[in-house]
Structure 1
Amino acid sequence: MRDGLVRQHHRTLRLLGSLLLVAVGVCATGAAPARAAAPTPLDRVVPAPASVTPGGAPYRITRGTHIRVDGPREARQVAQYLADILRPSTGYRLPVTTRGEGGIRLALTRGDFGAEGYRLSSSPRAVTISARTPAGLFHGVQTLRQLLPAAVERDTVQPGPWTVAGGTVTDTPRYGWRGAMLDVSRHFFTVEQVKRYIDQLALYKLNKLHLHLSDDQGWRIAIDSWPRLATYGGSTEVGGGPGGHYTKADYQEIVRYAASRHLEVVPEIDMPGHTNAALASYAELNCDGVAPPLYTGTAVGFSSLCVGKDVTYDFVDDVIRELAALTPGRYLHIGGDEAHSTSHEDYAAFMDRVQPIVAKYGKTVVGWHQLTGAAPAEGALAQYWGLDRTSAQEKARVVKAAQNGTGLVLSPADRAYLDMKYTEDTPLGLSWAGYVEVRRSYDWDPGTYLPGVPEGAVKGVEAPLWSETLEDSGHIEFMAFPRLPGVAELGWSPADTHDWERYKVRLAAQAERWNALGIEWYRSPQVPWGAQ
């Protein structure tokens, strides 16, 4: 009898203890503790992975988890990058080590991963990201981030739990060029603002940052042999603001930071048009020897370097030489669009002289697709920004160049230009290419976009962001999100994964992550955002 009473007493104490814990939870949070959410399914990430095999129990990051890495310094840097993301929100030490078992492992290994592919395997014992290169490990880390709760992106300790669904993701990109262009000429953006955008690009596995460094409204890179380009030509911007420019050290810091996120910087000096900032800085670059005033408007097509003057090519040589020396990447963009003040003959002659200069300094030419109206150099890339309504003749030139060996990067303005308004009510952006809602920016196939272009001629996609109306990071983000992830998916994911109905659900799930990262974004009515 007494034993029964004792057991009953113990059960009562346990029940009271449980009720007390619930009450504490209610007092602390204002509600009863919620059941832990299920892990994010392996196929819920953006860009869509090439192959997903779900199965098995999840892995859980705990206070005892470590990040294990073997390999060169670049691989250890990826491990440290991952630790820097996870530590603030989890509150865990997450030491980076070469020893131990289990935990999170980053492994360089042989395999059919290509230059940027990876495999992520998750089980109760460990999460392992395997790749042939540090870039592959880095892209695998981005998938791991998206498989964890969005709160992992916050910079204060969050409650967790931090679980990764069980199974395997095997992933390689469709295209080698997955880029975003930022126009720092119409409005100047600081080094820190550019770095913030780089971090956002990296989350979606983009690998090229195209910087539009010169235009009519501003010259943004210091050139020692022509110092007034930056100090005078960079002294303003659209609307008459103070402008600004990057010192060589500033530019090198952007290049270094981009490389740490496995993005290659592609600098652009636009010519022979879009050159008023240079023409205003040096009178001798003008055919009549008279420097025009600085320009702060938004019209295009009125400026041109003087094609017939030898000093023009001295100028081009100096600029390319100094910029190439600062740029470890393979490519240098020479613009070439909207040269309406240059005759066709002069344009072709200019490109014939300038492209060899780029090669002389060890770089590969990239130009806007008007380059195909001249004679693209061997190995050159043409960046196509035409519209559905672009003339058949202009499209035919691009197709013919592709058939003759010129590679294409696709940036159709009425699909991929992130500065186009979403709707007529969008407070930022322009609309000359039409309104570009989220579905339109995603719902096209780069492989079939230009009929007649050979398979293999399309090298990738790029999402340009022109800045006539953009003045700060919030403006950049509002126009880039939610369209940027869709262009990234077009560049990374296999064509057979492209499906708007499935994509919009995966995209909606990204909103909580953007909120955690402090990203400003447009709430498109085409996407089922839910409570976000």
Structure 2
Amino acid sequence: MTGRRRRRAERPTRGAVVTGAVTAGVAGAAALGLLLAGCGGDGQDTGREQAADPSSSAPASASPSPSRSYALSKPPRAVPAVREHTAARGPGWRPAEDSRVLVRDDGLADEGRLLAGELGIDYGGDADARAGDVELDVAGGGPAESYTMTVRDGRVRITGADEAGAFYGTRTVKQSVRAQGRVPEGTVKDRPAKPQRGLMLDNARKPFTARWIEDRLREAADLKLNQFGLHFSDDQAFRIESDDHPEIVSEDALSKDEVRRILRLADSLHITVVPEIDSPGHLGAVIDAYPDLQLRDASGRATRGAIDIGNPASARLIDSLLREYAELFPGRSWHLGGDEYQALVKSDPEASYPRLAALARERYGADATVQDLATAWLNDRQETVEKAGKTTVKVWNDGLHPDGAVRPNRDREVEYWTGKEIGAREPREYLDDDWKVVNLNDEYLYYVLGEPNTFRYPTGRRIYEEWSPLVLRGTQPVPARYDDQILGGVFAIWCDQAEAQTPEQIATAIRLPLAALAQRVWDTERPLTWDQFAARARAVR
């Protein structure tokens, strides 16, 4: 997730979009002169963000650098808030006409050019540093994705443990300049609490343009999120161009060239894209083109969205799709889905689907059930994507079945969501069985269009004040001893009632919830009140 990446000669930049806004903020702050030079807070920060408060996650130094000209600095304004700040006295740094971004590691050239464009200053490559410059470097040795930023003598120096860490330091600079016109004097040491911090989009039920997705990637990167899930196949539609199976592709699908452009941007922003072809359920769009593969019960009734896992042709078709899209998405991550296979929600699956039950007994023994066929199906699909080079494989928690004659492959991650599902297993069952879990608690992290089935649009306040990675189901956390097994959290946009909101309305509505998620997975503490945090989140955009 966080290793050094193969850099590209070109990358999309956002300088043209944000430079005017950032430099306008700089001009406004400059008018305040030295009054703001030592002030890095929001003007109302309390608790941990006050430099004098010893309980702060960004504590002040006991021995600030000597100067009587400036107030003791406060932490830079950023979302998520920096975790540690050693205060100092000095003017801080703000972009000037002769400022440059310099790099001391060739792998950071793209990051340097991006920041220079965003701040409206020059990119100077590996030139000798002078006052007014920002330097980027990679030192290694620290926690993954961590960085140290020192502001002193009119310069900024960012040193990342890896390229991602250095990039996140540039996000802090950008946000601080946008919010307050400068970066305060002092030293920041910052690192994420959780390795997976993400946004997921249901692009199957509702089409989104490549440009809309790219805008969300840029916003996510500024919040130091590092994962983007793309759910592009479901009962309603299949939304990416296919060379091998064009018959399954729906209208308004993304072209493969558009997907490649999205992937290039994501890579440049240190975001891992996790594609998902959900199976053996949620395959309605694929089955529409292959009706003979539809699962039918004992009376011959079709089971919506469910493919016949007893038919060898079903596996051949889905494996063909997995191989095609594994090539399109070159990253190491893949989501197999596995949730809500309708054969397993029946009160008696063996009576409802006697042919599947007989096949299970034939393959796996007299006590085998339809559940064993479903588990074997996911195991086989995992083998397919692993042969295609995928090493991080995810499934939804209700696709992971306990006991049985067939056991699920252990080398996978569980994305837990089922807070509202009757009969769903509790999170502790997975944790006690030593699974690694990612939090997608549907009480807080599911943005479901139209709010069907008792869903309510999540708010930033609820996420910020009530949720943490330990709150996997409902509103109660699991014991802290499980913390290391919980890899992070993902905010999911599901488009069940696709016409309920426009893409623009969705983009606006998720901004504060996404910022709140970003804070709680970067640092599980709350350094500000909600009102202060919301004001800051608006200011740094």
Q: Normalised by the shorter chain, which TM-score bucket?
A: 0.7 to 0.9
Q: Does 1:69 align with 2:103?
A: yes
From 195, 198, 205, the equivalent of 1:176 is 195
Residues 355-434 of structure 1 correspond to what in structure 2 (within 5 A)?
355-363=382-390, 364-373=392-401, 375-387=407-419, 394-395=425-426, 398-419=427-448, 429-430=451-452, 432-434=454-456
What is the CA distance between 1:188 and its match in structure 2?
A: 0.7
Within 2, Cα distance between the matches of 1:329 and 1:76?
Answer: 22
Hey, what does 1:3 align to over in structure 2?
none
What TM-score, normalized to structure 2? 0.74
Residues 399 and 371 of structure 1: CA distance in aligned 2, closer, same or farther (over 3 Å): farther
Q: Which runs of 5+ in 1 are unaligned?
A: 1-32, 152-161, 236-243, 289-300, 421-427, 515-532
Within 1, Cα distance between the matches of 2:452 and 2:489?
Answer: 21
Instruction: Specify the SS of the correspondent of 2:339.
Output: coil
Residues 164 and 453 of structure 1: CA distance in aligned 2, closer, same or farther (over 3 Å): closer
Instruction: Specify the SS of the correspondent of 2:94.
Output: strand
What TM-score, normalized to structure 1? 0.75
- Residues 189, 472 of structure 1: 8 Å contact kept: no
2:482 aligned partner, one-letter code: P
Within 1, Cα distance between the matches of 2:195 and 2:468?
Answer: 16
1:510 aligned partner, one-letter code: A
The CA deviation string for residues 458-486 of structure 1, in whole angstroms up to 9 with x for no partner, is 11110001123466441221221211011
Instruction: Specify the SS of the correspondent of 1:413.
Output: coil
Hey, what does 1:486 align to over in structure 2?
516
Hey, what does 1:529 align to over in structure 2?
none
The CA deviation string for residues 322-369 of structure 1, in whole angstroms up to 9 with x for no partner, is 111122222110112222245434423422332222222221321111
The CA deviation string for residues 221-257 of structure 1, in whole angstroms up to 9 with x for no partner, is 2232222121xxx12xxxxxxxx11222221111111
1:52 aligned partner, one-letter code: H
Residues 328 and 67 of structure 1: CA distance in aligned 2, closer, same or farther (over 3 Å): same
Q: Which runs of 5+ in 2 are unaligned?
A: 1-29, 42-74, 297-302, 350-370, 472-476
From 167, 184, 194, the equivalent of 2:213 is 194
The CA deviation string for residues 135-183 of structure 1, in whole angstroms up to 9 with x for no partner, is 11111111111211349xxxxxxxxxx4221111101111111111011
- Residues 119, 169 of structure 1: 8 Å contact kept: yes
What is the CA distance between 1:498 and its match in structure 2?
A: 2.5
From 239, 247, 251, the equivalent of 1:228 is 247
Residues 392 and 456 of structure 1: CA distance in aligned 2, closer, same or farther (over 3 Å): farther
Hey, what does 1:275 align to over in structure 2?
283
Hey, what does 2:171 align to over in structure 1?
142
What is the CA distance between 1:94 and its match in structure 2?
A: 5.4
Identity of matched residues, %: 26
Instruction: Specify the SS of the correspondent of 2:484.
Output: coil
- Residues 102, 127 of structure 1: 8 Å contact kept: no
1:447 aligned partner, one-letter code: L
Residues 117 and 49 of structure 1: CA distance in aligned 2, closer, same or farther (over 3 Å): same
Q: CA RMSD in A?
A: 2.7
What is the CA distance between 1:107 and its match in structure 2?
A: 3.2
Does 178-187 or 108-117 show the bigger shift? 108-117
Residues 86-485 of structure 1 correspond to what in structure 2 (within 5 A)?
86-87=119-120, 92-93=121-122, 95-150=124-179, 162-230=181-249, 234-235=250-251, 244-287=252-295, 302-342=304-344, 343=349, 344-363=371-390, 364-373=392-401, 375-387=407-419, 394-395=425-426, 398-419=427-448, 429-430=451-452, 432-434=454-456, 436-442=458-464, 443-447=466-470, 449-451=477-479, 454-468=482-496, 469=498, 472-485=502-515
What is the CA distance between 1:198 and its match in structure 2?
A: 0.4
Instruction: Specify the SS of the correspondent of 1:197.
Output: helix
2:460 aligned partner, one-letter code: V
Within 1, Cα distance between the matches of 2:331 and 2:144?
Answer: 16
- Residues 202, 493 of structure 2: 8 Å contact kept: yes
Instruction: Specify the SS of the correspondent of 1:250.
Output: helix
What is the CA distance between 1:430 and its match in structure 2?
A: 4.6
- Residues 295, 306 of structure 2: 8 Å contact kept: no
Residues 309 and 510 of structure 1: CA distance in aligned 2, closer, same or farther (over 3 Å): same
Within 2, Cα distance between the matches of 1:447 and 1:266?
Answer: 23
1:379 aligned partner, one-letter code: D
Instruction: Specify the SS of the correspondent of 2:400.
Output: helix
The CA deviation string for residues 73-103 of structure 1, in whole angstroms up to 9 with x for no partner, is x30100001011111xxxx445444333233
Residues 329 and 318 of structure 1: CA distance in aligned 2, closer, same or farther (over 3 Å): same
Within 2, Cα distance between the matches of 1:34 and 1:257?
Answer: 36
Instruction: Specify the SS of the correspondent of 1:163.
Output: coil
Number of positions where the alignment pairs a residue of Structure 1 with one of Structure 2: 433
Hey, what does 1:507 align to over in structure 2?
534
Within 1, Cα distance between the matches of 2:125 and 2:96?
Answer: 14
Within 1, Cα distance between the matches of 2:448 and 2:151?
Answer: 39
Instruction: Specify the SS of the correspondent of 1:358.
Output: helix
1:135 aligned partner, one-letter code: A
Instruction: Specify the SS of the correspondent of 2:382.
Output: helix
Within 1, Cα distance between the matches of 2:152 and 2:143?
Answer: 25
Instruction: Specify the SS of the correspondent of 1:488.
Output: helix
Residues 450 and 149 of structure 1: CA distance in aligned 2, closer, same or farther (over 3 Å): same
2:40 aligned partner, one-letter code: T
- Residues 59, 166 of structure 1: 8 Å contact kept: yes
Residues 31-46 of structure 1 correspond to what in structure 2 (within 5 A)?
35-36=32-33, 38=36, 39-41=39-41, 42=75, 44-46=77-79
Within 2, Cα distance between the matches of 1:100 and 1:345?
Answer: 63
Within 1, Cα distance between the matches of 2:416 and 2:87?
Answer: 39
Residues 379 and 405 of structure 1: CA distance in aligned 2, closer, same or farther (over 3 Å): farther
Answer with 1 or 2: which has the greater Rg: 1
Within 2, Cα distance between the matches of 1:452 and 1:137?
Answer: 30
- Residues 145, 162 of structure 2: 8 Å contact kept: yes
